[in-house]
Amino acid sequence: MVVNNAEQLLLQAKQSNRVALAKLLSIVERGGQPARDLTRLVWGSADSTYVVGITGAPGAGKSTLTDQLISQVRKRLLEVAVVAIDPTSPFSGGAILGDRVRMQEHATDGGVFIRSMATRGHLGGLALAVPDAIRLLAAVQFPYVFIETVGVGQVEVEIVGAADTTAVVINPGWGDAVQANKAGLLEIADLFVINKADRDGSRDTRRDIELMLEMSSFEGWIPPIIETVATEGKGIEEVFEAIESHREYLEKSGIGKKRREARILEELNHVVQAEINRKVSQLLSEPSFAAKKAELISGDIDPYSLAMELLKFEDD
């Protein structure tokens, strides 16, 4: 039997070899055939990992909060992996010194695995890479995976919204909740964190969120609103407890299972689209297309007919 590199790395990663895990995540990040092979390898492995999404505007305190949540998990003697998709995140090195010093504390803790994922200006790729990364981290048995993304843009919101529990981080101040609403964050929020509650205005922000929640139709789970001062560790325990309550709710109601199923189908949707794009690029670069292109330009064939011909599709 030929044991390929990825298989070997996966075996090592399952034995807590973090270097091997980092290499596997690089494979995921780069995409292409090796990433597809890796997904085949990991698919279907037992999945008891709980995925928590943390999102909000840049500077809202997502990384600081994540850092504190890591401590909560570690207090319970569990391991945690963090995937940060924020280009300005301390995890990816774009931070002020204070943050970095704190992160380094966790960086030497073998029970914490922190990884930043680059967008490389290719958000479509991210929609594929993140679920793959989560699955990989689940296969190596992390009980918790935290995903930090900036809550701007449809892809980022979609990615974080696919978590089991999504925390939306807002700051006190006029209009912050309204901005979050505009970005589509309210719809995906399972809990709200008003971070920087050491500043004025958190009561107004709470009222804004409550009003918006009243206007939307939440059934069953009503997202709690929790005030935190992440830099001082205030309110963090409550946030963690809210995550656990939401988890319990998802499990008891069966909604968690449904969500995971929807997530897999959504992933299939992304994969199908990506594969079609790949196929189309291939077709368009084939030499036989040159003649077709000439026909198109001379007006002998219209783009719709040519597209159908290329894809071997038939008219409806």
Ligand X SMILES: Nc1nc2c(ncn2[C@@H]2O[C@H](COP(=O)(O)OP(=O)(O)O)[C@@H](O)[C@H]2O)c(=O)[nH]1
Which residues in 113-133 are b (16+ Cβ under 10 Å) and which e? bbbbbebeeeeebbbbbbbbb
228, 197 contact by CB (below 8 A): yes
Confirm or reject binding of residue 168 to ligand X (CB under 6 A). Answer: no
Q: Contact with ligand X (CB under 6 A): which of 102, 106, 135, 196? A: 196
Q: Which of residues 30-89 bind Mg ion (CB under 5 A)?
A: 62-63, 86, 89
Detail the DSSP E strand segments found in the chain. Answer: 50-56, 80-84, 112-116, 144-150, 165-170, 191-195, 225-228
| The pair of three-digit structure tokens given for residue 22, joined into one six-digit string | 């980092």
Nearest approach, Cβ of residue 198 and ligand X (Å): 5
Residue 68's binding partner out of ligand X, Mg ion, none, with CB under 5 to 8 Å set by partner kind:
none
Does 99 interact with ligand X (rule: CB under 6 A)? Answer: yes
Q: Is 116 in the site for ligand X (CB under 6 A)?
A: no
- In the complex, least distance from residue 206 CB atom to ligand X, rounded to whole angstroms: 15
Q: Which residues contact 201 (CB under 8 A, 6 or more apart)?
A: 172, 173, 174
Among 61, 125, 131, 223, indicate the residue that binds ligand X (CB under 6 A).
Answer: 61
**What are the angstrom distances between the C-alpha of 207 and each of 81, 86, 245?**
34, 28, 23
Residue from 72, 195, 202, 205 binding ligand X (CB under 6 A): 195
**Cβ-based nearer residue to Mg ion, 89 or 166:** 89
- Residue nearer to Mg ion on the CB measure, 93 or 124: 93
Distance CA 147, CA 149 (A): 6
Residue closer to Mg ion (CB basis): 62 or 135: 62
Binding site for Mg ion (CB under 5 A): 62-63, 86, 89
